[in-house]
Structure formats: structure tokens, C-alpha cells
């Protein structure tokens, strides 16, 4: 296929996906020709193709590299691909107009439209996301989701060397700032020409709605503040989360905690994450109920979950906000030396909450996950953080997504776990040093039972058990008699 055919088929693909109309074909073709350095357009035909947009984009980008229009660098390729797709994209005002017109008919119609646009425009990296290894695994708490994250490509030495020569800039200030909308990108900052944001108001303040380019679950969205400011869990958090799920009842919305170690990867920009997905934590049973004396209308329960979770339910947002704020302010100051919980070291605070809001069965729900980020000599990365014996599987912070029961595991595990399987089968294997003792334990545990048909499942089951331990390590009140009694002491303190 010659380059003219590639352009023509990409344009036809855009028409089929309703990104552009037939009347836009010539315009779009001419814009693409300029970007890839093409002065003439030969016969291309109008035959259809089974090839998808990402494949056609790759060919155009490779052609531009061959023509020396761009350097053969990851970031430059991404910038060109996003600029090509932006040709097919409506302006932000048009996207917002369409979204809110559909929203007035039915909120789900609006999100369906915007999610499809974000996928079809290649903003959501569907082909790369498809490389992830995903499976569900049964535990005593329900089915956990396991993902080995292979979607984000690694930079090669040429990319890294180029980045060192580029002058740094503070625009946009971070990956979540609104200035990313339509930003061409640069070496070291992702291309966002085809990025669009939905404007909305939450409690009298301008906020924005978008999807994650590397979604970890269905309709993985981000809701972000217009102002670049640090994340903070406070009364306004409950107000905004509940306002959002009342407006979008088919979505949940939650927040990472606002302290290092127990927070997410970006604490410098106030934002939430949500989506149209039911996590294991949402399905988890309620272990026992309790009453808050000053909030008699609120249904309160402790959730059967490896972390320490209080679930609040009510038909009235205002009552939920008051109750959640009471729990937060109490937890911020709460210490229990018997279970290693201290609210402060000097002036440094340690207690916070990871909150999740949803609307279910006609009621508003808030799940409040109690967190503490204190460290010790024995656990320098965090007392309530994955401990050393599970860090060979998961060492990173346990943020909102993991809290709810989805393991986002590093790409290195794809090959490392295959080597563990080979070892279990008695074959020559290059098992990483940090997996060696675990592999030996598995070989002893399953002695005489391992074969080529079940080795992979044994490793999957064992990996899930490690992630479950990661969640248990993050629980402030352990799921034993001492922890259960300590949890009840905190609940009693609320009254």
C-alpha cells in the first residue's frame, strides 16, 4: 500500500467512525499531506480496509520519519500522531455542546459519546491497553482484578539522551493541568493535540472531566480542578464526590489520599478518579453495622475488606457529608499505640482517608478507607504499606485503584513470572533473585502436583495471594482479634 492509500484509508476510517463528514474528506487529506511532507497525491482508490486507525497512523509516522520530517524518537512520533488525529477532532466548544445536549436527554448518552470520541480519536490508547495482562482471581473477599501493566511503552536510550538536551519549561505545570488540552507536546511531555475536556461545575467551582489515556477499567475517568493546587481531603471532597455521582449516577467517583506513601502518583493537582465499573470492594459484604449517635439517619457499617473501610448510606447528601466530615476529623486526631497507629510525629500528620462515592439502590454511598502513612525502622517505606516480603510483586504506593481491589502490577512481571513457571516445571530458568525464595516455597507447596497444564494457574493464584497481602499490609486495623477490637474502639470514639 502506498502512502496515498494510507492517507485515504485513514480518512475513510474517520468517516466511518463519524469523526468527520464526507464533505470534510478533501480538507482532512490535505492537512495530513502537509504534516507528513507530501506535495502530491496520486491515485488512492476508495477501497475499504480492515486496518484500524493506530496501524494506519503508524505507517504515516514511519513515512514522516523516512522523509526526515521528524526524528525517529518516541515523543516526536507521538506528537505527529496526535496532530494528525486532531484534524478529525471537533473543537472543545463543539465537544462540550454535544456532551451537554446528550446529557440533558440522559447522562449515560453523554458519557457514551465522549468515551467513544476519546477512543476513536486515539487519545485513549486502546491498542496499547490491549497488551495488558488481565485476569480475575477468587479470594475470601470476592474476585480481585489483576493487571500486569504493559501499555506504557518504555523509552529507548536515544529518547532519554534527547530529553537531557531539551530546555525544561513549566507549561503545562503538570500532566493534569487544563493547559494540556490541545497542547502539541514536547520531548518529555506527552502529546495532547487530540485531548478534549468537558467543562463542569462542582459546588460553584470550575472542574473538568476527561478519560485516562491508559484506562485500567471501563470508562476510567479523571475529574480535575481548574486550579493547580495540592490534593486535599476535607469537607469539600465529600460535597464534590456526591454532587458528581448524583449528576452521573452510573459512575462512581473516588479520590486518592492526600498524604505521601498512601496517596497516588500525582498529589500536586487536586483531582478524582471514577468510571463505570464495579470493583470488588463495592461488592464486598458489610461485616457489621453500627450507629453514629449524632447522625441517626445514616446507615453505617464496617465492610469485609482487607483494608479498614467504613460504609455510609443515606438518601440525603447533606447528612452524609456531615457524618463523613465527623469521621475524618476524628480520624485525623486518632491514635492507638496498641496497633501502631499514631496521628502525628511532632507536627507531621499521618492519618487520612481514601474516599469512594457511588449511588446504588436509590441511596448515596460513601466508602471511607482509613489510611496511615507512618514509617518505622523496620518498615522504612511505610508501616501500612506493602512489606518487604511482598515488594517483589508490588512495591509502589497503594492508591485508590488498588484500594478498591485492582492490582496494577509492573511490566517486569510478565517475563519474571514466566521464569518462575519454568522453575516450577523443573526447566532451566533465570528466576530473579527477589523471586527465588518465593519460587522455592511454591515448588515445595505444590510438590508432585505441578505440570505444564497448571503451572501458569499456580503462579497466578500465588501472585493474587501476594496482592491480597499487599492490601492487608495497608489495612490500619488488621483482620484479627486485636485489629477487630481496635477498629471497634475507634468506632466507639466517634460517639
Are the beta carbons of 314 and 298 closer than 8 angstroms? yes
Are the beta carbons of 139 and 208 closer than 8 angstroms? no
Average pLDDT of the segment spanning 268-282 = 97
Q: What is the DSSP string of 210-260?
A: EE-TT-SSTT-EEEEESS------SHHHHHHHHHHHHHSTT-EEE--BSST
Confidence of residue 265 (pLDDT cuts 50, 70, 90): confident
Confidence of residue 47 (pLDDT cuts 50, 70, 90): low
The answer on pLDDT for 48 being more than 70 is no
- SS3 assignment for 365-428: EEEEEEEECCCCCCCCCCCCCCCHHHCCCCCCCCCHHHHCCEEEECCCHHHHHHHHHHHHCCCC
> What are 165-221's pLDDT values in tens digits?
778 789 999 999 999 999 999 999 999 999 999 999 999 999 999 999 999 999 999
3-class secondary structure, 181: coil
> What are 62-110's pLDDT values in tens digits?
999 999 999 999 999 999 999 999 999 999 999 999 999 999 999 999 9
User: Nearest CA to 422 among 407, 412, 432?
Assistant: 432
Give me the residues paired with residue 355 across strands. Answer: 368
pLDDT at position 98: 98
Spatial distance between the Cα atoms of 60 and 83, rounded to a whole number of angstroms:
12
Spatial distance between the Cα atoms of 350 and 407, rounded to a whole number of angstroms:
24
Is the four-CA dihedral 113, 117, 120, 124 of positive or negative sign?
Answer: negative
Confidence of residue 163 (pLDDT cuts 50, 70, 90): confident
Question: Which three cell numbers mark 224?
Answer: 480535575
Average pLDDT of the segment spanning 458-479 = 98
Confidence of residue 44 (pLDDT cuts 50, 70, 90): low
Element (H, E) at 147: strand 142-148
> What are 110-128's pLDDT values in tens digits?
999 999 999 999 999 999 9
Q: Which ranges of 18-106 would DSSP assign to H, the alpha helix?
A: 25-35, 53-66, 74-86, 92-105
pLDDT at position 65: 96
Are the beta carbons of 328 and 353 closer than 8 angstroms? yes
The answer on pLDDT for 412 being more than 70 is yes
Phi, psi of 8 (to 5 degrees): -60, -40
Q: Look at 258-267, 278-287, 387-396, 486-495 and tell me which has the smallest mean pLDDT.
A: 258-267
pLDDT at position 50: 66
Across all residues in the chain, what is the average pLDDT?
95
Let me know if 299 is exposed, middle or buried by CB neighbors in 10 A (0-12, 13-18, 19+): middle
pLDDT at position 42: 84
pLDDT at position 13: 94
Higher pLDDT, 407 or 159: 407
> What are 6-21's pLDDT values in tens digits?
999 999 999 999 999 9
Amino acid at each position: 500500500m502506498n502512502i496515498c492509500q494510507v492517507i485515504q484509508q485513514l480518512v475513510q476510517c474517520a468517516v466511518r467512525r463519524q469523526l468527520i463528514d464526507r464533505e470534510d474528506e478533501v480538507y482532512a487529506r490535505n492537512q495530513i499531506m502537509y504534516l507528513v511532507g507530501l506535495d502530491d497525491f496520486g491515485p488512492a482508490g476508495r477501497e475499504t480496509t480492515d486496518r484500524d486507525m493506530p496501524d494506519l497512523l503508524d505507517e504515516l509516522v514511519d513515512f514522516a520519519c523516512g522523509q526526515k520530517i521528524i526524528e525517529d524518537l518516541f515523543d516526536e512520533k507521538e506528537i505527529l500522531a496526535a496532530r494528525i488525529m486532531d484534524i478529525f477532532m471537533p473543537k472543545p466548544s463543539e465537544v462540550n455542546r454535544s456532551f451537554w445536549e446528550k446529557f440533558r436527554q440522559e447522562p449515560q448518552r453523554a458519557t457514551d459519546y465522549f468515551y467513544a470520541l476519546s477512543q476513536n480519536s486515539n487519545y485513549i490508547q486502546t491498542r496499547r491497553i490491549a497488551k495488558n495482562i488481565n485476569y480475575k482471581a477468587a479470594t475470601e473477599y470476592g474476585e480481585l482484578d489483576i493487571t500486569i501493566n504493559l501499555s506504557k511503552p518504555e523509552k529507548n536510550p536515544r529518547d532519554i539522551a534527547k530529553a537531557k538536551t531539551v530546555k525544561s519549561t513549566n507549561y503545562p505545570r503538570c500532566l493534569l493541568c487544563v493547559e494540556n488540552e490541545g497542547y502539541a507536546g514536547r520531548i518529555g511531555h506527552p502529546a495532547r493535540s487530540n485531548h478534549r475536556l468537558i467543562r463542569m461545575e462542582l459546588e460553584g467551582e470550575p472542574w473538568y472531566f476527561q478519560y485516562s489515556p491508559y484506562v485500567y477499567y471501563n470508562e476510567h475517568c479523571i475529574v480535575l480542578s481548574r486550579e493547580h493546587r495540592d490534593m486535599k481531603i476535607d469537607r469539600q471532597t465529600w460535597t464534590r464526590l456526591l454532587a458528581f455521582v448524583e449528576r452521573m449516577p452510573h459512575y462512581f467517583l473516588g479520590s486518592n489520599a492526600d498524604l505521601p506513601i498512601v496517596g497516588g502518583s500525582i498529589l500536586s493537582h487536586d483531582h478524582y478518579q471514577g468510571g463505570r465499573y464495579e470493583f470488588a470492594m463495592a461488592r464486598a459484604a458489610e461485616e457489621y453495622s453500627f450507629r453514629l449517635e449524632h447522625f441517626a439517619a445514616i446507615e453505617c457499617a464496617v465492610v469485609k475488606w482487607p483494608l479498614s473501610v467504613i460504609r455510609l448510606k443515606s438518601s440525603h447528601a447533606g447528612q452524609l457529608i456531615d457524618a463523613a466530615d465527623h469521621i475524618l476529623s476524628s480520624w485525623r486526631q486518632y491514635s492507638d499505640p496498641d496497633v501502631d497507629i499514631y496521628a502525628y510525629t511532632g507536627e507531621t500528620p499521618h492519618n487520612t482517608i481514601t474516599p469512594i462515592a457511588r449511588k446504588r439502590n436509590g441511596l448515596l454511598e460513601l466508602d471511607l478507607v482509613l489510611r496511615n502513612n507512618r514509617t518505622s525502622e523496620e518498615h522504612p517505606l511505610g508501616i501500612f504499606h506493602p512489606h518487604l516480603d511482598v515488594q517483589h510483586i508490588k512495591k509502589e504506593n497503594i492508591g485508590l485503584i488498588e484500594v478498591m481491589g485492582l492490582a496494577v502490577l509492573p511490566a517486569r512481571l510478565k517475563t519474571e513470572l514466566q521464569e518462575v513457571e519454568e522453575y516450577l516445571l523443573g526447566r532451566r530458568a533465570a528466576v530473579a533473585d527477589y523471586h527465588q525464595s518465593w519460587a522455592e516455597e511454591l515448588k515445595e507447596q505444590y510438590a508432585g502436583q505441578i505440570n505444564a497444564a497448571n503451572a501458569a494457574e499456580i503462579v497466578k493464584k500465588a501472585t493474587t495471594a501476594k496482592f491480597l497481602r499487599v492490601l492487608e499490609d495497608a489495612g490500619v486495623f488488621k483482620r484479627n482479634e486485636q485489629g477487630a477490637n481496635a477498629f471497634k474502639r475507634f468506632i466507639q470514639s466517634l460517639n
